[in-house]
Chain A
Amino acid sequence: MIFLWLGRFFIIFSMIFMLIGIIGLFRFKDFYLRILISAKIETVGLLAMLIGLIILSGVSFASLKILLIGLVLMFTNPLASHAIARSARVNGYLSPWEKIDD
């Protein structure tokens, strides 16, 4: 019984994090601030959801696969966000504040 509530707690925790991410997506006015959302907050929401699902689905082959997906995404999500940020910086996409300084 405890596992049921623990799994649900993780899922609710991940829903809250995704809500914060969505609010952040709309409130941050600049591209370089939104990278934080995609790199960190989405990854945390993702991992919390996957851990909750692992707890809910118990010890089985499926939960091993979910763990593998979680591991893969833990590394690739920030990497993809870094690639996007790097391509924006190399291309010289300046955020509004930087335009004044240069």
Chain B
Amino acid sequence: MNFLELVLCGIAIYTVFSIIRVLLGPSIWDRLLCLNVVSAKIIMAIVLLSVISNQDYLLDIALIYAFLGFLGTVLIARFIEKRGD
């Protein structure tokens, strides 16, 4: 259990709290905001995992996930702007 694995467990705990906040969020925008927070944490976990296991291809996955997460967030934000009209 070296230092980086401990940090990975810490990130997992933070992600659980963020997901709880997603479920609690009163409005749709709260949920979308905390979803953005969760996806930022997932990217951190992927990069950390790739450093622990010394596999470079995981970093490409994290990069693509960063772009897709951003794109998805912006599109959903535009969609719920007019309540889905």
CB contacts (< 8 Å) of B67 on chain A: these are 72, 76
- B37, B63, B77, B82: which contacts A37 (Cβ < 8 A)? B37
Residues of B within 8 A of A (CB): 3-4, 7, 10-11, 14, 17-18, 21, 26-27, 29-30, 32-34, 36-37, 40-41, 43-44, 47-48, 50-51, 54, 56, 59-60, 62-63, 66-67, 69-70, 73-74, 77-78, 80-83
Residues of A within 8 A of B (CB): 8, 11, 15, 18-19, 21-22, 25-26, 31, 34-35, 37-38, 42-43, 45-46, 49-50, 53, 56-57, 61-62, 65-66, 68-69, 72-73, 76-77, 79-81, 83-88, 90-91, 93
